[in-house]
Chains A and B, each alone.
Chain A
């Protein structure tokens, strides 16, 4: 079983729509969950973090976490063409040097 599973996409949404990105993880010990955005040829950029079950909103982004189901998602409201990128789900154990493990990422295309 893969540690982090994401649909690689591409997920195509029209400009202004809500994009919904999903991720499941296998390690029940994971405590911290991150979403990174990666533009083609660029490095990952941290956009959201979530640590507790429920929703966390930051601007147009909402992260949702369900630890019992080992599921984390990212909603992007009012999608813009500039949101077109690959979104990486990344769970981590808490504390110190514990590594962050990345999924393959979901490629999002926002169509103008």
Chain B
């Protein structure tokens, strides 16, 4: 069964450093998403991406965050200057048809900011 692949599975970074989280969506999917989940809290929407541009973003997705699809397979989330409160599990998801039939999630990257 096709999978969404995320790397790395765990990243530790110092406060103020830049991090890039990487995702390889399912190959025929057109819609891409980043969500995050702080420990013990709900899964929160960050951003959706379609046709090489951001479709929607949440209040969490401020100027410190950016997304990019640098080639035909990768989808990245960059955090420019990490804060302690950015520590969370970050999930990439993709969908062939958008929200209509749900998403497939990757296994996540656990980001720890120290």
By a beta-carbon cutoff of 8 Å, the part of chain A in contact with chain B is 32, 34, 36, 38, 42-46, 49, 88, 90, 92-105
Complex Cα distance, B98 from A97, in Å, reads 5
Q: Which of B41, B102, B108 contacts A100 (CB 8 A)?
A: B102
Please give 11 more A-B residue pairs, beta carbons under 8 A apart, in addition to A42-B107, A98-B56, A98-B98: A36-B102, A43-B106, A43-B107, A46-B102, A88-B42, A88-B43, A97-B98, A99-B99, A100-B45, A100-B103, A102-B45
Complex Cα distance, B50 from A99, in Å, reads 12
Q: How many residues of B contact A (CB 8 A)?
A: 25
Contact B99 A98, beta carbon cutoff 8 Å: yes
* Number of inter-chain CB pairs below 8 Å: 71
- A96-B31, A97-B48, A99-B56 known; A44-B99 Cβ under 8 A: no
Complex Cα distance, B55 from A46, in Å, reads 22
Contact B99 A93, beta carbon cutoff 8 Å: yes
Considering the complex, which residues of chain B in the window 69-112 have a beta carbon less than 8 Å from any beta carbon of chain A?
Answer: 91, 98-108
Considering the complex, which residues of chain B in the window 31-57 have a beta carbon less than 8 Å from any beta carbon of chain A?
Answer: 31, 33, 35, 41-45, 48-50, 55-56
Complex Cα distance, B100 from A32, in Å, reads 6
Contact B100 A44, beta carbon cutoff 8 Å: no
Q: Which of B33, B98, B104 contacts A46 (CB 8 A)?
A: B104
Contact A43 B91, beta carbon cutoff 8 Å: yes
